[in-house]
Amino acid sequence: MKVVQHDVYKSSDTLTILLVMNLFEMLIVKYIKSVLSLSNIEIILNFVQNIRQEQMYPIDAKQVDEFMINGQLSIQKILFLQESCSTYRDLLNSKTVFVFLANTDIKEIFTKINLQTYKFPSISPKIESLVPHIPKEINITPSDPKERYFQQFIQQVNEWLQWFDKFLTISLHIIEWFKNLNVNDATQLLREIYNVKENSSTTVLQMRSTVERILKLLRPFNDLQRLCHLFNCLTSFHIIDSGGLNNQMDSSNYIRELKRLQPNNYFTVPVKISMPNSFSIHDRQHVQWSIASDKYPCNVQIEYQSIEVQGDTGQLYEKKDVPIEKYVLQGEFETERAGQLIITINNDKLHNLRSIWYRIIQTPLSTCHLFNGIFNMYYQSYHGQSTELIKE
C-alpha cells in the first residue's frame, strides 16, 4: 500500500501528483462558479501551482487560471455586498477565501464603490428603542495583512445582518397588518421579508433595501413600542419556565396517558449513546414541553435552535441524574422564530436502554384582538369598504 503525503509537494511523488490533479479536475467541473463553497482546498491549490510551475506533468493552465479568477471575482462580489447573506455567515468560519486574497487588490476594488452603500441606514431613536445596538458603518480602508482586514469586513457585515434580522422579525406582523389595510407597498414588503427568511440567495443589498423601505413606512408612527406590544412581537425568544420537575405529576401516569392519546410520542436511547432528538417548532408560538422516562434517572439537555439565524441556539435546561422516571420534567417558552426544540438524553456512560416519552404543545402567540376590533371599527367609519391604497 502506498502512503500518500498529501500535505507535502514532491516532484518525484508521481502517485500523489496524479491524485491531486484528478481531484482538482473534479473540483473544476463541479464548483467552477462557486469556488468559495469549497473547504480545505489550500493544499490542492498549492500542489496545482507547483505542478504548473515545474511543467513536469500536463495540466490545463487555462482551467487553473479560470478557477483562480472565479475566486477573485467572488471576493469582489463579497466586497461589493452583492453576495448572498448565507455566504457572509459561512465565511465567518471559512479560510478557503484566503487562497484567492493573495492576488486580489482590495484597494483597487474599493475605487469602484458607492460609499453610501457601506453606511448603515439612518435609524431614528424610536426604532433604536425597539432594536438597540446599531452597527457601525463598514470600514472600507484596507489594511495589512489582507486576511485580518477581510475577516473584520466579514464580521462587520454579519453585525449588519444580525440587526436586519431582528428588525425584520419585529416588523413582520406590523407589515402584515398594513397589507390587510391595503397600505401602499405593504404586500411587496411582506413578500420580500418572507423571501429574506426563506431564500438563502437573498443578497445583503437586497436585504438592506427591504429594511430601508420598512423604516420609511414606519416613520410616521410615534409610538412604535406600544404598537409592537399590541402585536406581541417585541421579544424574539422568551423563556417562561426553563424547566423543572413537577412533583404533582407522576411519570407512570403521564406515560400511561401518552400511550393512550399519543402512542408515537417517544424515542429510545440505546446504551452508551448521547442522542439528540429534534422537534419542529413553527414561528410565533407559545410552546409547552414535558418529558418522562419509563425507568432510570437521565442526564438531560433541552435547547431551542432558530432556523433563521446561524448559531442562534438557546439552552433551556441541563442537569445530570434527573429523576424523570418518578416525576415529569416540564418547561415553557415563546418564540417569534421557527426552529427546532432539541431534547438530548446523554446515556454515554450508562448501561441501561431507556424510552423517553414527551409532549410538545404549540399555541400561536396572541395579538390584541380588542385593538384590532376598535381600530377596524373607526377605520371603516371613515373609509367604509374602500379598496384604495393608503399612502403617506
**Rounded to an integer, what distance in angstroms lies between the CA atom of residue 82 and that of residue 117?**
11
Enumerate domains of the chain plus CATH numbers. Answer: 237-364 (2.60.120.680)
Q: What is the pLDDT of residue 78?
A: 94
What mean pLDDT comes out for the span 208-213? 96
Largest distance between two CA atoms of the chain: 88
With beta carbons less than 8 A apart as the criterion, state whether 287 and 281 touch: yes
Q: What is the pLDDT of residues 272-319, one digit of tens each?
A: 888 899 999 998 899 999 999 998 899 999 999 987 665 567 899 999
Residue 24 confidence (pLDDT) above 70: no
Residue 25 confidence (pLDDT) above 80: no
For every residue of the chain, which 3-state class applies, written as one string?
A: CCCCCCCCCCCCCHHHHHHHHHHHHHHHHHHCCCHHHCCCCHHHHHHHHHHHHHCCCCCCHHHHHHHHHHHHHHHHHHHCCCCEHHHHHHHHHCCCCHHHHCCCCHHHHHHHCCHHHHCCCCCCHHHHHHCCCCCCCCCCCCCCCHHHHHHHHHHHHHHHHHHHHHHHHHHHHHHHHHHHCCECCHHHHHHHHHHHHHCCCCEHHHHHHHHHHHHHHHCCCCCHHHHHHHCCCCCCEEEEEEEEEEEEEEHHHHHHHHHHHCCCCEEEECCCCEEEEEEEECCCEEEEEEEEECCCCEEEEEEEEECCCCCCEEEEEEEEEECCCCEEEEEEEEECCCEEEEEEEECCCCCCCEEEEEEEEEEECCCCHHHHHHHHHHHHHHHCCCCCCECC
Q: How confident is the model at residue 1 (pLDDT cuts 50, 70, 90)?
A: very low
Q: What is the pLDDT of residue 2?
A: 47
Residue 133 confidence (pLDDT) above 70: yes
Residue 330 confidence (pLDDT) above 70: yes
Phi and psi, residue 275, nearest 5°: -120, 110
Residue 228 confidence (pLDDT) above 90: no
Q: How confident is the model at residue 320 (pLDDT cuts 50, 70, 90)?
A: very high
Q: What is the pLDDT of residues 173-195, one digit of tens each?
A: 889 888 887 888 889 999 999 89
Residue with cell 441541563: 318
Three cell numbers written together for 107:
484597494
> Looking at 1-15, 66-80, 113-127, 227-241, which range is the least confident one?
1-15
Please choose, from the candidates 81, 86, 85, the residue with its C-alpha nearest in 3D space to the C-alpha of residue 114.
81
